[in-house]
């Protein structure tokens, strides 16, 4: 980076840090974008001097609310609810809800900020948002999850709507939770509308939405591998997590002839040399529904090795796809992956790699694809669900999958356009940030200072 650009990035980061001093996750998401987008702005008179980045880092609105509910023992519980409505320049606010113990304002601002660029990349008209609560489904009963979800929607409902803000799922919010959230919204508003995506197929949901995030990750990985003259067919893949994203990745890797040999939880990882396939894939869904948040039962049921407290990145594989949570993959993991001659790392989760890990991977010229490009298939099919809801019809699974594949290949082309470096290496981070930025920035400039 040129010296003048470096100091522009530093000045901007000092400004953002001073305004958001206690938000490390948010600051690191902003830094990832600023380092690639500020030099681009500096070189483009159209964007220079318009304070676009200063406007972008300020959410249009943050809603924080009390979520009181009664547990099975009759005790009153209090959680905190949030919706960060970050940017609506290119469409209604859109982004998931996360129910997890680590949720706080910084985490949701990081996710909402990422969502602006991700949604822009899909080419569909969706602004950026994120929400959730510090509630964890771990150890909760079905009835407790229902009461909490209802209590959460009792406040959120007045801030969302099919043309205003359309939430979906994320960690801890799957089909079950979305059902309870949708039921309460419908009761309060007396309206059956497409206010949430990821709905069940029988009540307004899109086919393939549950699979979409993971399928999209693998479509993107395949496009990037093809660009290198390779294919995922025959490859061994290390995956972390065992939730929605991992599940979709496993299914699509299998379909394309690859093999996923690891899954993980907060308790460690399993190594399955035969590959996660057949009934093992369905078992992932049962593990998720058990609300225990551990992977060990997989090893016990299928007689494979379990490595307590370890991460899958120590395995010698062809490709690594972290699908669990932010910052799960650090610089030591990056060094291990480089040493093991892994082809690259494709992010299934949102920012699973730390800043230092990304640097090491890219410096060593390994393939690196950021989540905002690779996992955009989830929100893309959410966008397709909104279209189907607006038209009051439902496309076939084949139709949705075909459109998803097309969207991911389109994102790949677009990121390639801005990410190709003079030495032929593709900086997908740079490509995704700039391609995502341009559409939002153009819309903001057109709409004036609002
Ligand atoms: O991180 C994400 O892109 C999501 N959790 C999905 C958001 C959505 O609105 O489908």
**193 CB neighbour count, 10 Å cutoff:** 16
Same structural domain for residues 131 and 149?
Answer: yes
Residue of 175, 211, 323, 379 to test ligand 1 pocket, by largest number of atoms within 8 Å of CB: 379
- Nearest-angstrom CA–CA distance, 371 and 348: 6
Given strand 165-168, what is the order of strands in its sheet? Answer: 61-70, 76-87, 128-133, 93-99, 165-168
SS3 at position 345: strand
Residue nearest to atom 9 of ligand 1 (CA): 95
Same structural domain for residues 45 and 114?
Answer: no
Residue of 169, 181, 244 to test ligand 1 pocket, by largest number of atoms within 8 Å of CB: 169
- Please report the pLDDT score of residue 419 as a whole number: 98
Atom of ligand 1 nearest to the CA of 111: 1
Same structural domain for residues 292 and 310?
Answer: yes
Residue 426 lies in a domain: no
From the CA of 129, how far away is ligand 1's center (Å)? 9
Atom of ligand 1 nearest to the CA of 375: 3
- Please report the pLDDT score of residue 78 as a whole number: 98
Please, are residues 53 and 437 in contact by the beta-carbon 8 Å criterion? no
- Please report the pLDDT score of residue 54 as a whole number: 98
**111 CB neighbour count, 10 Å cutoff:** 29
pLDDT (tens digit per residue) in 38-48 = 999 999 999 99
| β-strand pairing of 259-265 with 268-271 | antiparallel
The yes-or-no answer on residue 130 being catalytic is yes
Residue 128 lies in a domain: yes
- Nearest-angstrom CA–CA distance, 148 and 138: 13
Residue nearest to atom 3 of ligand 1 (CA): 379
**What number of CA atoms fall less than 13 Å from residue 214's CA on the CB side?**
26
Please, are residues 81 and 64 in contact by the beta-carbon 8 Å criterion? yes
From the CA of 198, how far away is ligand 1's center (Å)? 9
| β-strand pairing of 93-99 with 128-133 | parallel
Atom of ligand 1 nearest to the CA of 98: 5
Q: With CA atoms as reference, report the closest residue to 179 among 158, 155, 208, 210.
A: 210
Residue of 87, 96, 386 to test ligand 1 pocket, by largest number of atoms within 8 Å of CB: 96
Residue 437 lies in a domain: no
369 pLDDT higher than 90: yes
CA dihedral (187, 189, 192, 197) positive or negative: negative
- Please report the pLDDT score of residue 90 as a whole number: 98
- Please report the pLDDT score of residue 2 as a whole number: 83
pLDDT (tens digit per residue) in 87-102 = 999 999 999 999 999 9
Q: Count up the domains in the chain and report the number.
A: 3
- Please report the pLDDT score of residue 1 as a whole number: 77
From the CA of 323, how far away is ligand 1's center (Å)? 13
The whole-chain average pLDDT of the chain stands at 98
- Please report the pLDDT score of residue 260 as a whole number: 98
Same structural domain for residues 353 and 220?
Answer: yes
Give the CATH number, domain containing residue 282.
Answer: 3.40.50.720
List all residues whose CB is within 6 A of at least one atom of ligand 1.
Answer: 94-96, 118, 168, 170, 197, 350, 378-379, 382
Same structural domain for residues 252 and 364?
Answer: yes
Same structural domain for residues 175 and 65?
Answer: yes
Residue 91's domain spans which residues? 61-192
Atom of ligand 1 nearest to the CA of 167: 9
Q: Which two tokens stand for residue 2?
A: 């040129």
Residue 41 lies in a domain: yes
Residue 46 lies in a domain: yes
DSSP 292-306: ---SHHHHHHHT-EE
- Nearest-angstrom CA–CA distance, 36 and 8: 11
**286 CB neighbour count, 10 Å cutoff:** 12
Please, are residues 93 and 161 in contact by the beta-carbon 8 Å criterion? no
Same structural domain for residues 324 and 248?
Answer: yes
Q: Which two tokens stand for residue 290?
A: 């058990």
Same structural domain for residues 273 and 186?
Answer: no
Atom of ligand 1 nearest to the CA of 169: 5
pTM given for the model: 0.97
Last residue of one domain, picked from the residues 136, 166, 192? 192
From the CA of 117, how far away is ligand 1's center (Å)? 12
pLDDT, average across residues 15-32: 98
Same structural domain for residues 355 and 240?
Answer: yes
- Please report the pLDDT score of residue 109 as a whole number: 98
Same structural domain for residues 220 and 245?
Answer: yes
201 pLDDT higher than 90: yes
Same structural domain for residues 240 and 336?
Answer: yes
Same structural domain for residues 215 and 247?
Answer: yes
pLDDT (tens digit per residue) in 297-319 = 999 999 999 999 999 999 999 99
From the CA of 423, how far away is ligand 1's center (Å)? 34
Residue of 378, 404, 411 to test ligand 1 pocket, by largest number of atoms within 8 Å of CB: 378
pLDDT, average across residues 126-151: 97
Give the CATH number, domain containing residue 99.
Answer: 3.40.50.10860
From the CA of 48, how far away is ligand 1's center (Å)? 31
Q: With CA atoms as reference, report the closest residue to 438 among 420, 421, 415.
A: 415
Candidate list 94, 109, 118, 130, residue with the active-site label: 130
Atom of ligand 1 nearest to the CA of 198: 10
From the CA of 377, how far away is ligand 1's center (Å)? 9
Strand positions, DSSP E, 294-386: 305-308, 319-321, 344-346, 367-369
CA dihedral angle for residue 330, residue 336, residue 339, residue 345, rounded to 10 degrees: -60
């Amino acid at each position: 980076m040129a010296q003048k650009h470096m100091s522009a990035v530093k000045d901007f980061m000092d400004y953002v840090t001073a305004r958001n001093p206690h938000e490390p996750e948010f600051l690191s998401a902003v830094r990832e974008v600023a380092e690639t987008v500020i030099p681009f702005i500096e070189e483009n008179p159209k964007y220079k001097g318009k304070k676009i980045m200063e406007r972008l880092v300020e959410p249009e609105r943050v809603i924080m609310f009390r979520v009181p509910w009664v547990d099975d023992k009759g005790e009153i519980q209090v959680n905190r609810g949030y919706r960060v409505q970050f940017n609506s320049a290119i469409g209604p606010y859109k982004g998931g809800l996360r129910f997890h113990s680590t949720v706080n304002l910084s985490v949701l601002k990081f996710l909402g900020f990422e969502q602006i660029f991700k949604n822009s990349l899909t080419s569909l008209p969706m602004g950026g948002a994120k929400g959730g609560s510090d509630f964890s489904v771990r150890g909760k009963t079905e009835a407790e999850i229902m009461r909490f979800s209802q209590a959460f929607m009792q406040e959120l409902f007045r801030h969302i709507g099919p043309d205003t803000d359309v939430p979906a799922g994320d960690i801890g919010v799957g089909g079950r939770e979305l059902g309870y959230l949708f039921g309460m919204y419908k009761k309060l508003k007396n309206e059956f509308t497409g206010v949430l995506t990821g709905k069940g197929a029988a009540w307004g949901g899109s086919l393939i939405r549950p699979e979409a995030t993971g399928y999209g990750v693998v479509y993107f990985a395949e496009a990037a591998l093809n660009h290198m003259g390779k294919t995922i067919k025959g490859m061994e893949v290390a995956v972390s997590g065992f939730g929605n994203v991992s599940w979709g990745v496993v299914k699509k890797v299998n379909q394309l002839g690859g093999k996923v040999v690891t899954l993980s939880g907060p308790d460690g990882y399993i190594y399955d040399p035969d590959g996660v396939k057949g009934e093992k894939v369905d078992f992932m869904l049962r593990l998720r529904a058990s609300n225990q948040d551990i992977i060990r039962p997989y090893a016990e049921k299928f007689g494979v090795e379990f490595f307590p407290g370890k991460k899958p990145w120590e395995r010698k594989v062809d490709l690594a796809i972290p699908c669990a949570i932010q910052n799960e993959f650090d610089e030591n993991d990056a060094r291990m992956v480089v040493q093991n001659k892994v082809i690259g790392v494709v992010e299934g989760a949102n920012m699973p790699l730390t800043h230092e890990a990304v640097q090491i991977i890219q410096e060593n010229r390994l393939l690196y694809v950021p989540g905002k490009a690779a996992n955009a298939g989830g929100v893309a099919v959410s966008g397709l669900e909104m279209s189907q809801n607006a038209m009051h019809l439902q496309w076939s699974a084949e139709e949705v999958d075909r459109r998803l594949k097309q969207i991911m290949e389109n994102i790949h082309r677009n990121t390639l356009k801005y990410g190709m470096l003079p030495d032929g290496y593709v900086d997908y981070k740079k490509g995704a940030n700039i391609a995502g930025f341009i559409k939002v920035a153009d819309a903001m400039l057109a709409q004036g200072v609002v």
